[in-house]
Structure 1
Amino acid sequence: MTVSPDDPRSAYAQVADDLRRRIATGVVKAGQRLDGNAKLAEQYGVAAMTVRHALDILRDEGLIVSQQGRGTFVANDPPGEEASPRDQQMADELTEIKAALELINSRLDRLEHQVRDRA
């Protein structure tokens, strides 16, 4: 895959998205070493700095890890594979809060219509 100048996303976002997709689909597996920055830059047709920026994004997302002198590897337990009990509890709480907010918003809408109708 080479970066497309017609794509509205930045070059580093295109590289990050492609690598993210390759990790998610198992083309690049957990624990597998990624090619070096120079080789990735050549594959994508971009500067090494662009690849570095893309890898920084994936590292921040927890999808890859870098080891000094060894290289960059796909994380052994990428986020989203298995939620911890605490993560599941937070997700459940967020779902409940979202439902409560939707109810509050519908009540507010109803009250606003009633006030408007009386005016």
Structure 2
Amino acid sequence: MVKHTGRPAYLQIADDLRAQIRGGSLAPGTPLPSTARLAEKYDASLSVVKMAVSLLRNEGLVIGQQGKGVFVRDPAEAASAAPAGGDLASEVAELRSAVQELSARLAKVEQQLATSTSPAGRRGSR
């Protein structure tokens, strides 16, 4: 059950499932209970449970198989699937750079549109 501690419910659920995985009560290859069962167990909404499972998926602890469910990964596979700290930092830096570049390009396009749709810009195009 999720406690009212101020910590988001999805993080509490992810923490509990992570502890079960690391503690061995959810062994590699074991399917996680369905989203509906987890929602019932933790007295949480389906979307909150999905967020928790998604977090574990991003950490490489579980893997989803379309139409079959979500399964606990083997620790060796999970370690190789999780991004290394340095790789993640460089990826974030690349994303920030791309966002800055796109923001600058968007500003130019907006400026061009504003100029071309102004009354002075329309008169010159006739």
Scaled to the shorter chain, the TM-score interval is 0.5 to 0.7
How big is the shift at 1:9?
1.1
* Count of aligned pairs: 80
Q: Percent identity?
A: 40
Q: Cα deviations across residues 49-76 of structure 1 (Å, max 9, x unaligned)? A: 0000000100000000000000000012
Cα offset, 1:31, TM superposition: 0.6
Q: Mark the structure with the bigger radius of gyration.
A: 2
TM-score when normalising by structure 1: 0.63
Give the gaps of 5 or more residues in structure 2.
87-126
Equivalent residue letter for 2:79: P
Moved over 6 A (4+): none
Cα-Cα RMSD: 1.6
Q: Match for residue 107 of structure 2?
A: none
Structure 1: runs of 5 or more not aligned? 81-86, 91-119
CA offsets 1:20-46 (integer angstroms, 9 cap, x no match): 000000010011001100000000000
The answer to which structure has the higher helix fraction is 2
TM-score between the two structures when normalised by the length of structure 2: 0.60
User: Mapping of 1:76-87 within 5 angstroms?
Assistant: 76=74, 77-79=77-79
2:46 aligned partner: 48
Shift of residue 8, structure 1, vs aligned partner: 2.4
